[in-house]
Amino acid sequence: MPRIQLCRVDELEDIDARGFELTQTDPAHDIFIVRNYDNIAAYQNSCPHNHGPLNWLPDIFLSDDKEYIQCVNHGALFELDSGHCIYGPCNGQSLTRIDVEIDDHIIYVVI
């Protein structure tokens, strides 16, 4: 599986998220990463509720308090580090995780 470079860790705030459209893969993948201090997680940008994107605006994936990933469609809340839904219509389900590697402060996904 190819390893795809995304960005440097220090391009993200301590708690932050950023979306990426991976056109190097076939099919292309719509993903986002979440930094929670030292933990970096990557997820498919697909809500378990309707299997569409979680965001309407670029890079807006977190709740206002940055405690959770929030789906803009119906307000589902997901844990930052696990992607597990703790509130909303898909309560108990999880986002699909993607393997992440950090190499010399650069974030990669293996997809």
d(CA 29, CA 12): 21
Give the binding-site size for ligand FES (rule: CB under 6 A).
11
Write the CB contacts of 82 (distance below 8 Å, at least 6 apart in sequence).
Answer: 41, 94
CA dihedral 24, 93, 102, 30 (to 10 degrees): 20
What is the smallest separation between the CB atom of 42 and ligand FES, expressed in angstroms?
18
Nearer of residues 9 and 79 to ligand FES, judged by Cβ: 79
Q: Which of 3, 25, 59, 74 binds ligand FES (CB under 6 A)?
A: 74
Check binding of 76 to ligand FES (CB under 6 A).
yes
Window 17-56: residues binding ligand FES (CB under 6 A): 47, 49-50, 52
Q: Which of 35, 44, 83, 88 binds ligand FES (CB under 6 A)?
A: 88
Are 32 and 18 spatial neighbours (Cβ–Cβ below 8 Å)?
Answer: yes
Instruction: Name the DSSP class of 94.
Output: B
> What is the token pair recorded at 19?
């979306």
Contacts with ligand FES by CB under 6 A lie at 47, 49-50, 52, 71, 73-74, 76, 88-90
